[in-house]
Amino acid sequence: MEIKEFIANFADQFDDTDANEFKAETVFKELDEWSSLIALSVIAMVDEEYNVTLKGDDIRNSNTIEDLFNAVKAKA
């Protein structure tokens, strides 16, 4: 699992946010488009792509995309 691939998959969950805004250090909760619906989409994407079950706490405890990537990697 590579962070570049994870960021690309993460970015795919957003419709209106420019792909250039997604970097490892991006604080995803500060993105205008971030919502509980996108959080659910991210959880579903992680389950489908990485066969990892994320919990709401995993998202709440993550600030950056890299934090979330590390949470997924730890459970993989």
**Domains of the chain and any CATH numbers:** 3-75 (1.10.1200.10)
Q: Cα angle at 52 between 25 and 56, to 5 degrees?
A: 65
Cα dihedral 57, 59, 64, 70 sign: positive
Residue 1 pLDDT level (bands cut at 50, 70, 90) = confident
Is the Cβ–Cβ distance between 2 and 50 less than 8 Å? no
For 5-54, what is each residue's pLDDT tens digit? 999 999 999 999 999 999 999 999 999 999 999 999 999 999 999 999 99
Q: What is the pTM of this model?
A: 0.95
The size of the chain, in residues, is 76
**Local structure of 26: helix, strand or coil:** coil
